Structure 1
């Protein structure tokens, strides 16, 4: 799947998120719920904003933080598991949790 096709798929899966916007950034895309930046799409992967509590599930599933360069890591953003991306209902739940974390 091309990066644009993946982006379009993710946006379709997240259609229930109010005021969802997608903007180019980091060589990929940033996702916003209104003005709240909560996700990154880069290199065919989706990353959600996490906090200490929500990050546990990502780590339990052995997901990695967003790494825009080999020497830089944004540890607040973790890759969303493929099975979650495929399930629109579950993805929406994870996205809403990421929006809540990002808004705090």
Structure 2
């Protein structure tokens, strides 16, 4: 049996044709990103890919299983990730249609999130920073005209 890190490296190789792929250790396994979209999880030597309502039936039809776990208090948690078909783990070419569905599901999830409310504190901090920044140096003058004196006002 391959080590967890070897399996993660294999999964990265399978996902890399879709774009820049990287993994990150999390929850005793690995999380996978393509173009900084979170699209997969490796746990217990299985690769789980992100699904949505459109792609879930294809994963079900291929005999895939959902990623789930039990919490400490005995509750079953099922996430929106399903195992990749066994044959897709054989090559990047066989993985591509499944990984593309995962990328699509991740994009849909990202685009369906409501934009966060703007926070006043960062905007005020940026405004203060701008006011406290030194004024840009004046451009070199080519004429002998006297420079006008300007007074900055506080707002």
Partner of 1:91 in structure 2? 95
Higher relative contact order (CA 8 A, sep 6+): 1
Partner of 1:19 in structure 2? 20
User: How far apart are 1:15 and its partner, in Å?
Assistant: 2.2
Which of the two has greater strand per residue? 1
Partner of 2:145 in structure 1? none
Distance between the aligned counterparts of 2:78 and 2:59, measured in 1?
Answer: 15
Partner of 1:77 in structure 2? 81
Partner of 1:52 in structure 2? 53
Distance between the aligned counterparts of 2:104 and 2:58, measured in 1?
Answer: 16
Distance between the aligned counterparts of 1:97 and 1:61, measured in 2?
Answer: 14
Partner of 1:4 in structure 2? 5
Q: Deviations over 1:19-70 (max 9, x none)?
A: 2111111211111112211111111000111111211111112221111336
Distance between the aligned counterparts of 1:62 and 1:92, measured in 2?
Answer: 18
* SS in structure 1 of the partner of residue 64 of structure 2: coil
How large is the Cα RMSD of the aligned pairs? 1.5
